[in-house]
Amino acid sequence: MSKRSEVVLALFVRNEKVGCEKSVPEIDRSLFSEVFAIDAGSSDGSVEYLESQGIKVYAQSSEGYSGAYEDAVRKANGQDLIVFHPKGTVNPEVLARMVAELDKGVDLIIASRMVTDGKNADDDSFFRHRKWFGRFAGLVLYFRFGQKSGMPIVKDPLHGVRGFSQHLIKQLELRPNSVVADLEIVRIAYENQFIVAEIPVSEAKRISGKTNFPTFRTGFALFSYLFS
């Protein structure tokens, strides 16, 4: 299979040493022209571990989740980009399928927990707040921005394991110091009628540490964005 371009892998990290120790050895680095990490102030040894594995780590230079994306895009230097969160919750085998989709001409590829054969970490729970909100967000985005352009619905707009073509990256303007970047990216794809695809992935429960997106505060910000 001939590649349209080289693909860069960016790891988003903040206090994920245990997850990195599980995920990083499983990454097939031959898929990528470069692998680097954007670190948002880790203090648990994540940076030291990644560097010991030969991965260049850049301290995040801008605030918020959007700042991590901005840094990754700058470091990717115009190449196709895949973002992965090495928390030990998603098998890095999905990266090969994501690269293949970019090679086919897809502009936004999302490793989806919501499509057929996908699994969300809280699927075995009675209350599935994260999954329910993700589906709700997908519907709102679609009816506000995707339906009128005839785009297919994005079912998992909040999963941060995703890849971008050079064409999408050129349109990637995100609001600063924000946690709503994943939703913004889907909106950009809808508004520019980019080619979007989702492939199934199974998400396991977090093996260590705590989320960097507190439920109430993050949920309020996401809800506000959906109806702004």
Tokens linked to 93? 């085998």
Strand partners for 56: 36
First to last CA, the chain: 43
Higher pLDDT, 115 or 215: 115
Work out the average pLDDT over 161-184: 90
pLDDT at 1: 41
Task: Please enumerate in sequence order all residues whose Cβ is within 8 A of that of 13, keeping only pairs 6 or more positions apart, or say none.
Answer: 20, 37, 38, 39, 40, 42, 46, 47, 50, 57, 85, 86
Nearest to 85 by CA among 9, 8, 195: 9
Domain spans of the chain, in order of start: 7-226
- Give the 3-state secondary structure percentages of the chain, helix then strand then coil, rounded to 5: 40, 15, 45
Work out the average pLDDT over 196-223: 73
pTM higher than 0.85: yes
Q: How confident is the model at residue 212 (pLDDT cuts 50, 70, 90)?
A: low
pLDDT in tens, 65-88: 999 999 999 999 889 999 999 999
Higher pLDDT, 224 or 57: 57
Q: What percent of the chain has pLDDT over 70?
A: 90
Work out the average pLDDT over 107-127: 87
pLDDT over threshold 70, residue 2: no
Does domain 7-226 sit in CATH 3.40.50.10170?
A: no
The DSSP H or E segment spanning 9 is strand 7-13
Tell how far CA 20 is from the center of its chain: 16
pLDDT over threshold 50, residue 214: no
Q: How confident is the model at residue 127 (pLDDT cuts 50, 70, 90)?
A: low
> In angstroms, rounded to a whole number, what is the distance separating the alpha carbons of residues 149 and 163?
22
pLDDT at 159: 94
The DSSP H or E segment spanning 46 is helix 46-52
Q: Are 79 and 169 in contact (CB under 8 A)?
A: no
Higher pLDDT, 149 or 155: 155
Q: How confident is the model at residue 208 (pLDDT cuts 50, 70, 90)?
A: confident
